[in-house]
Amino acid sequence: MLRPYISILSVLMVLTVSCQKQESKGQPNIVFILADDLGYMDLSCMGSTYYETPNIDRIADQGTIFTNGYAASRVCSPSRASIMSGKFTARHDITVHIGSPAGEAWRTRNRFTKLLPAEYTHNLPKDYITMPEALKQQGYRTFFAGKWHLGDKGSWPEDHGFDINVGGWTSGGPRGGYFSPYDNPNLENGKDGENLSHRLAKETVNFIQENNPQKTGIPFFAYLSFYAVHSPIQTTEEKWKKYRDKAQQQGIAESAFSMGKFLPIRQVQDNPVYAGLVEQMDEAVGQVLSALDEMGLEENTIVVFTSDNGGVAAGDNFSTSNKPLRAGKGYQFEGGIREPYFIKIPGLSKGGEKIDYPVSGTDFYPTFLELAGGEQLPQEHNDGISLLPLLKGETLNERALIWHFPHYGNQGGEPSSIIRRGDWKLIHYYEDGRKELYNLSKDLSETTDLASDYPAKVQELNKELFDYLTEVGAKYAEPDPEYSEEKAREFLTKMEYEKMPALEKQRMEMLSNDFDPNNNWWGSTPTTD
pLDDT of the residue at 13: 38
Do 55 and 45 contact (CB within 8 A), yes or no? no
Q: Which helix (H) or strand (E) holds 216?
A: helix 213-216
**Does residue 405 contact residue 417 with C-beta atoms inside 8 Å?**
yes
**pLDDT of the residue at 173:** 97
Contact call for residues 223 and 144 (beta carbons, < 8 A): yes
H/E element, 135: helix 131-137
All residues at 6 or more sequence positions from 29 whose CB lies less than 8 Å from its CB, including other chains: 208, 213, 219, 220, 221, 222, 297, 300, 301, 302
Between the alpha carbon of residue 247 and those of residues 239, 251, 275, the distances in Å are 12, 6, 10
pLDDT of residue 451: 98
Write the CB contacts of 165 (distance below 8 Å, at least 6 apart in sequence). 144, 145, 148, 156, 157, 158, 186
Task: Give, in degrees to the nearest 5, the angle at Cα 223 between 30 and 329.
Answer: 120
Asked whether the beta carbons of 86 and 382 are under 8 A apart, the reply is yes
Looking at residue 23, its pLDDT comes to: 42
Q: What is the mean pLDDT of each run of 10 residues along the chain (529 residues)?
A: 37 37 68 98 98 98 98 98 98 98 96 97 98 98 98 98 98 97 98 98 98 97 98 98 98 97 97 98 98 97 98 96 98 98 95 97 98 98 98 97 97 97 98 98 98 98 98 98 97 97 98 94 75
- pLDDT at residue 526, rounded to an integer: 72
Backbone phi, psi, residue 287, to 5°? -60, -45
406: preceding bond cis by omega (within 30 degrees): no
